[in-house]
Amino acid sequence: MIDWREEVRRRLKASAPAGRQEEIVDELAQDLELRYEAMRERGMAHDEAYRALLASLDPGGVLSRNVARVEGTASPFSGIARDVRLAWRVLSCEPGFAIVGIMTLAIGIGANLAIFSLAYAALWRPLPFVSPGELVEIHERRPNGAPATYTSLPNFKDWQAATRSFDGMAAYTDSGATLTGVGDPVRLAAIQISTGVLPLIGVEPMLGRNFTEDEDRLQGAPAVILSHHLWQERFGADRTVLGRTITIEGEPRPIVGVMGPGFHFPIRPEPVDLYLPIGRDPFPLMQLRDGRLIKVIARLRGSVEQANAEMASLANRLAAAYPDTNTGWSAFVVPLRDDWFGSARQGILLLFGAVAFVLLIACANLASLMMARSEIRRRDMAVRRALGASRFQLVRQILVQSLVIAAAGGIAGAVLSTWLVDAASAIAPGNVRAADAGFGAVHSLTAIGVTLIAGLLIGIGPAWLTSRDAPLTADRGTPGGARHNRFLSVLLAAEVAAGIVLLAGAGLFTQSLSRLMAVNPGIDASDVLVVPIELPLNDYPDDAGRNRFYSAALEGIADIPGVTSVATAFPVPLGGTVAFPFTIDGRVSDRPTGAYYRSVSAGYFTTLRVPVRRGRVFNDDDRANSPQVAIINESMASQYFGDADPLGQRITIVDRNAGDRRTSREIVGVVGDVRHQGLDRPSGPEMYVPGSQAPSQWMSLAVRSARGSELVAAIAATVHGIDPALPVQGAYVLEERIARAASPRIFSARLLSAFAVAAVLLALIGIAATSAYIVAQRTPEIAVRMAVGATSTTVLAMILSGTFRVAVAGAVMGLLASAGLSGAIRGMLFEINPLDPLTLALVTAAMIALALLAGLGPARRAAAIDPVVSLRRD
Amino acid sequence: MADTFDAAVRRGSAEILILSMIEERARHGYDIARRIEEQSGGVVCFNIASFYPLLYQLERRGVIKGRWVERDGQRRRRYYRITPAGRAVLESQRSKWNDFLGALSKMARLRPSR
């Protein structure tokens, strides 16, 4: 008994969908059975009948193909597997093309995914809070129209009481706190929060509880909540830690809660160590209506417009009630995400644009290579078309091939991106943290999406053009050749254009950076070590105590071998800014104006080498109880005193950090401007007072010494000799800090340069390969030209002028694109116009020259064509 | 050349032959193939590998319709019947072949063999 079903099944393979397959097996087996019986009845031997039937069942193995073709018409996707196998075979026959293609795409896709991860973390991913879309910050607008992100506690309390547009409002601010008694004294990153913050964002402590109202007011019960990592690192993840008392800022406070592991309040880039109640802050300025030290977060009940309208009218009412502090101030809401990540947006979008251009060039490159290759296979296509393959099937076959390359490139790119993301998040500006980037479902979907788009971009042009010409051109030269060459020219021009955009960007950012680095900061920051000190208010409640500490520290440190000079300052350069109101004695003014304020010891100007323009600097005779003096910078002198001599004039400074203490001071000197806030920020009017006459609790030590950070241990020992409970940490070399302030620019410039180099290299490879292909295409034509008298020079010129035309067209496109994008980068450049004509001209000339250079090799081969040989071959 | 010609003729004529076989009544695949072979005196015969895919293609075009039928004492078989669209196709094919064969016999002086 012959099992005909099995014979059929084996030959049919998987050429039809499962259910249908069984029907076909049934039908064919019955047919075979009937034929077999008929043959046997006619007297045929078993073996003969059996062999004949098997031969008729599947001559040359066509059964499965025939069935698949018919059944395949049901869905445009059946047969895809065959296309994929074919694509794989074709690619493995051309490993060079495959490897170049896959690597090119891996770089393009990998870079895009890495930047996407950062962009997603910063710009799009929902914040890990309940209904984060409803969360807003409330900002104020200054009388001069500038936004102010911080407001005051009294304003916040009035807002909280009087508004109806919000489902809750809470206050927080970033600060620091010293922890003693658990290991070495340590300075911690803290956030002060009102009791409303955690309920508002819908987060609860993992252990323990939130602060109570009683803990969130002046003279309230002390309490502290630990972050998860501090709990693990300093308290060994001890679950019985609740209720234990730790010393924060010199005051014993019980631990009432521990936050969960994933909780991060990204107001600052570094992780937060602990949380303190904001209302208990004893800092006097905190209680003043114009002490703008806190941020306000709220949950919208209705629309943004409604909330803005209510805040505006409330601000007017407060201005009427408190004209001294609130006149001209307004308030408005800002989505929480914009407040936290808005500053990072521009840089990330810039990088995004740059990597997108790199990917586009990679795609254009591969498209032209595909085009050249599919050209070679055009005869094959024509035969397939003649044999009945539809145009759709041909297009699909080429597209599947480009998608297979893209898929391989995408997988390699995804792997690459996980490395790149670490590198990129290290240089990402603002609050975007490496840990936040990662690779999740969204990233996988994006990877697939980018890969698909890349595959389609690569394949669609070649697929369309090649399949269009297939039936016509099989045996008749290359009527499609001109069209294909036009397509290739467009791709080349696009590569040149994208190269110019990236080169121009890199050039602009590099020049911007070098101009920034050439700015004179107004100090000599080399060999200056800065050691931040914070004296706890509990231990150092008054000026006398602080002065005793600082003079002992200055004396002790000056004695350390290798120390040239030492000073204290609040704040140090790049250590933040403080602006205090002042009035010029004897002048009538309705409102005090503000100027930057620095409290510095006598050695400050020597240590930082700030040039003295007139008068004198502070000296040891400027003591707490000696005549009160001040020094101003050149900007302040020219802005407020014009041509008059400021020396001997008096100003009254309101010390907001000392309960608005007003002190009239005589101006004894004028010093040069210092770019205290960074090289890219002008200094503005600035006034200095002697540290001894206004000792802040936050003075930093500035130490000039060639020994640099080697000195930290000796300085710590000196400080601990005076007060063993003071943490000495976070010391830094001033010069490095200044360079780091410029680091987002440095990295933008470097990354853009790297992208530009990659893009230009890709573009040049593309130009060289495509020129070679076009020359090969035109060989018969060139041979004819040479046969009728063209010299190799004219051929060379003809080919190069073709490349030149394409490059110029690309350059025009690139310049237009650069002009279109100039607005987007204007704000990120320092003292250089995004349309800087010299940069654009140089970049354009360089790109065209490089394009010609890349096209030179193929052009010379064209010029060397022997017309006899190539015509005979044709 | 001869093979190609045979194949082309077979492919071209298969449609009208199959449709004619089931014009009056539904038949299963083997029956159709056997009748074509018999009635053509063995001149036209299909191997299984091309015949059934042809049937399936006609079915997909809506020209014929196949249905599994179980008769008493017999295994279930797939019977094909012509659809109204198939009848229209058959009529049009008949007139085209008539014209073509008429012209061909006149020009090439064909004589039907007896």
Q: What pLDDT digit, counting tens, does each position of B62-101 carry?
A: 889 999 888 777 778 899 999 998 999 899 889 888 888 8
**Which is nearest to A409 in space by CA: A442, A460, A457, A350?**
A457
Q: How many Å separate Cα A60 from the centre of its chain?
A: 60
Measured between CB atoms, which of A35, A66, A73 is closest to B60?
Answer: A73
The SS3 assignment for A355 reads helix
Whole-number Cα distances in Å, A413 to A106, A296, A416, A460: 4, 42, 5, 21
> What is the end-to-end Cα distance of chain B in Å, rounded?
27
**Which is nearest to A122 in space by CA: A389, A358, A418, A343?**
A343
Q: What is the pLDDT of residues A322-350, one digit of tens each?
A: 988 888 899 999 988 887 777 677 777 88
Question: A72 to chain B: nearest residue by CA?
Answer: B57
Interface contact A56-B48, CB threshold 8 A = yes
A773 is written with which tokens? 């292909």
pLDDT of residue A427: 60
pLDDT of residue A775: 83
DSSP state of A475: S
The percent of residues in chain A predicted with pLDDT above 70, rounded, is: 92
Residues 58-77 of A with CB under 8 A from B: 58-59, 62-63, 66-67, 69-71, 73-74
Q: Measured between alpha carbons, how far is A231 from A245 in angstroms, rounded to an integer? A: 13
pLDDT of residue B12: 67
pLDDT of residue B11: 64
Chain A to chain B Cβ contacts (< 8 Å): 54
Measured between CB atoms, which of B47, B50, B52 is closest to A27?
Answer: B52
A834 is written with which tokens? 């995004």
pLDDT confidence tier of residue A432, bands split at 50, 70 and 90: low
Nearest CA distance, B95 vs chain A (angstrom): 26
Q: Measured between alpha carbons, how far is A2 from A656 in angstroms, rounded to an integer? A: 104
Whole-number Cα distances in Å, A231 to A193, A200, A433: 19, 24, 21
Residue A551's CB: how many other CB atoms inside 10 A? 17
Residues A293, A297, A299, CA angle at the centre, nearest 5°?
A: 165
Interface contact B52-A28, CB threshold 8 A = yes
Q: What ipTM does this complex have? A: 0.91
> Which residues in A lie closer than 8 A to residue B33 (C-beta atoms)?
31
pLDDT of residue A387: 53
> What type of residue is B33?
A
Interface contact A63-B49, CB threshold 8 A = yes
- B78 in contact with A, Cβ within 8 Å: yes
Nearest CA distance, A70 vs chain B (angstrom): 6
Q: What is the pLDDT of residues A647-702, one digit of tens each?
A: 999 999 988 877 788 899 999 999 999 988 878 888 889 999 999 999 988 889 99
- B37 in contact with A, Cβ within 8 Å: no
Whether the per-residue pLDDT at B42 is higher than 90: the answer is: no
Q: What is the pTM of this model?
A: 0.65
The SS3 assignment for A501 reads helix
> Which residues in B lie closer than 8 A to residue A70 (C-beta atoms)?
53, 56-57, 60
The SS3 assignment for A144 reads coil
Whole-number Cα distances in Å, A508 to A531, A683, A817, A834, A835: 36, 25, 15, 7, 9
Average pLDDT value for chain A: 85
Measured between CB atoms, which of B30, B56, B57 is closest to A35?
Answer: B30
Interface contact A63-B48, CB threshold 8 A = yes
- B113 in contact with A, Cβ within 8 Å: no
pLDDT confidence tier of residue A444, bands split at 50, 70 and 90: confident
Residue B96's CB: how many other CB atoms inside 10 A? 11
> Which residues in A lie closer than 8 A to residue B50 (C-beta atoms)?
62, 66
> Which residues in A lie closer than 8 A to residue B53 (C-beta atoms)?
66-67, 69-70
The SS3 assignment for A369 reads helix
**Which is nearest to A375 in space by CA: A387, A364, A367?**
A367
pLDDT confidence tier of residue A740, bands split at 50, 70 and 90: confident
Average pLDDT score over residue span A590-603:
83
Nearest CA distance, A52 vs chain B (angstrom): 10
Nearest CA distance, A41 vs chain B (angstrom): 15
Residues A640, A595, A689, CA angle at the centre, nearest 5°?
A: 100
What are the residues whose beta carbons fall under 8 Å from the beta carbon of A205, sequence distance 6 or more?
A: A198, A225, A257, A258, A259, A260
Q: Are β-strands A686-690 and A593-600 bridged in parallel, bridged antiparallel, or unpaired?
A: parallel
Q: What is the pLDDT of residues A447-493, one digit of tens each?
A: 899 999 999 988 888 888 777 764 444 344 444 566 777 888 888 89
Measured between CB atoms, which of A34, A58, A69 is closest to B30?
Answer: A34
More confident call, A285 vs A322: A322
Beta strands in A301-392 (DSSP E): 330-335
Average pLDDT score over residue span A542-547:
92
pLDDT of residue A848: 93
Q: What is the pLDDT of residues A788-799, one digit of tens each?
A: 888 888 888 988
Whether the per-residue pLDDT at B7 is higher than 80: the answer is: no
pLDDT confidence tier of residue A133, bands split at 50, 70 and 90: confident
**Which is nearest to A348 in space by CA: A657, A114, A655, A142?**
A114
pLDDT of residue A530: 93
The SS3 assignment for A652 reads strand
- A34 in contact with B, Cβ within 8 Å: yes
More confident call, A16 vs A436: A16
Measured between CB atoms, which of A26, A38, A56 is closest to B47?
Answer: A56
- A723 in contact with B, Cβ within 8 Å: no
Q: Measured between alpha carbons, how far is A117 from A440 in angstroms, rounded to an integer? A: 9
CB burial class (10 A; 0-12, 13-18, 19+) of residue A39? middle
Interface contact A56-B49, CB threshold 8 A = yes
pLDDT of residue A195: 93
Whether the per-residue pLDDT at A551 is higher than 90: the answer is: yes
> Which residues in B lie closer than 8 A to residue A31 (C-beta atoms)?
29-30, 33, 48, 52
- B40 in contact with A, Cβ within 8 Å: no
Interface contact A62-B75, CB threshold 8 A = no
Q: What is the pLDDT of residues A822-836, one digit of tens each?
A: 888 887 888 888 889
Range of weakest confidence among A162-171, A481-490, A592-601: A481-490
Whether the per-residue pLDDT at A283 is higher than 80: the answer is: no
Whether the per-residue pLDDT at A273 is higher than 80: the answer is: yes
pLDDT confidence tier of residue A718, bands split at 50, 70 and 90: very high
